[in-house]
Amino acid sequence: MATWAIGDLQGCYRELLDLLKAIRFKPEADTLWFTGDLVNRGPESLECLRFVRDLGGAAIVVLGNHDLHLLAVAAGARKPRNKDTLDEILHAPDAADLLGWLARCPLLHRDARLGFTLVHAGLPPQWDIGAAQRAATELEAALRSSLAPDFYANMYGNEPDRWSDDLGGWARLRFFTNCFTRMRFCDPDGRLDLELTGPPGSQPPPWLPWYEVPSRHTRNERIVFGHWSTARLDPEAKFDKWNVFPLDTGCVWGGTLTALRLEDQKYFSVASRQPKRQE
């Protein structure tokens, strides 16, 4: 019996099957945690959604930015981008069921017994784990309510860039969304920069990877995340020093698809079947 955390699929279904074979996944005994971004940019997003949905209780998925984008496009709140590969899902006969299942996925999952927390992108330094859980619950409630179409229409944008207890309305929910699904860098005061996308160490001062901020309230929490495929390119990174486990290893860009066995923190990877290309 094992718990496996798996990095961003982004439509790489055949690689997922390769990885599950490599780790000898047993759906009757094991659990899979997915870091989000099940869909988009890769060739088989529909197959990924169906497969993970059909795992039932053997899978836990947190939403990523591409998952939310799919929901926004499906709701008519956003137009597809040129590089999107979502049409097959949108026109599938079971699209409504798949999208309904996806919208019910959480933004954060924490297992106190294992001592791990799962998010797609990151957490701002001002939040402790309780604040993060409350923010996730608030955002999930909006996604599952009649407000969802209005939320999708208002979730895009880089402001506000810093947490305040006084935030309200769409600004509050947008900040939650950007933290859980988009953040990489912030300054020591917790201000987000959502334009920087390079690997850790490529950023100008005063920016830091979100997990390196000295005042981070979750520094004693073990956090598994995806989203940041270039984070794994840094050979000097000592991620265990920061209690973080980045798992997006760029499968859709021709890298690898990676799983982490949470019980002993061992990594397993399989090669991508996608052509090498720049993110």
In a domain? residue 239: yes
In a domain? residue 79: yes
CATH number for the domain harbouring residue 112: 3.60.21.10
In a domain? residue 276: no
In a domain? residue 279: no
| Mean pLDDT value of segment 45-59 | 98
In a domain? residue 278: no
Strand partners, 209: 185
Asked if residues 148 and 142 have their Cβ atoms less than 8 Å apart, the reply is yes
pTM beyond 0.75, yes or no: yes
| 222-225, strands of its sheet edge to edge | 109-111, 116-118, 222-225, 244-246
| Structural domain of 249 | 3-271
In a domain? residue 277: no
What is residue 238's predicted lDDT score, i.e. its pLDDT?
Answer: 79
The pLDDT-based confidence of 32 (bands split at 50, 70, 90) is: very high
Q: Which of 190, 160, 164, 187 is nearest to 175 (CA)?
A: 160
The pLDDT-based confidence of 221 (bands split at 50, 70, 90) is: very high
What is residue 185's predicted lDDT score, i.e. its pLDDT?
Answer: 98
| Mean pLDDT value of segment 197-217 | 96
Q: Is 204 exposed, middle or buried (0-12, 13-18, 19+ CB in 10 A)?
A: exposed
The C-alpha angle with vertex 192 and arms to 85 and 166, in degrees rounded to 5, equals 110
Provide the domain count of the chain.
1
Q: What percentage of the chain carries pLDDT values higher than 70?
A: 98
pLDDT in tens, 137-182: 999 999 999 999 999 999 999 999 999 999 999 999 999 999 999 9
Beta strands 208-209; 244-246: pairing state: unpaired
The pLDDT-based confidence of 236 (bands split at 50, 70, 90) is: low
| Mean pLDDT value of segment 95-110 | 98
Q: What is the Cα–Cα distance from 19 to 21, expressed in whole angstroms? A: 5
In a domain? residue 158: yes
In a domain? residue 254: yes
The per-residue pLDDT of the chain, averaged, comes to 96
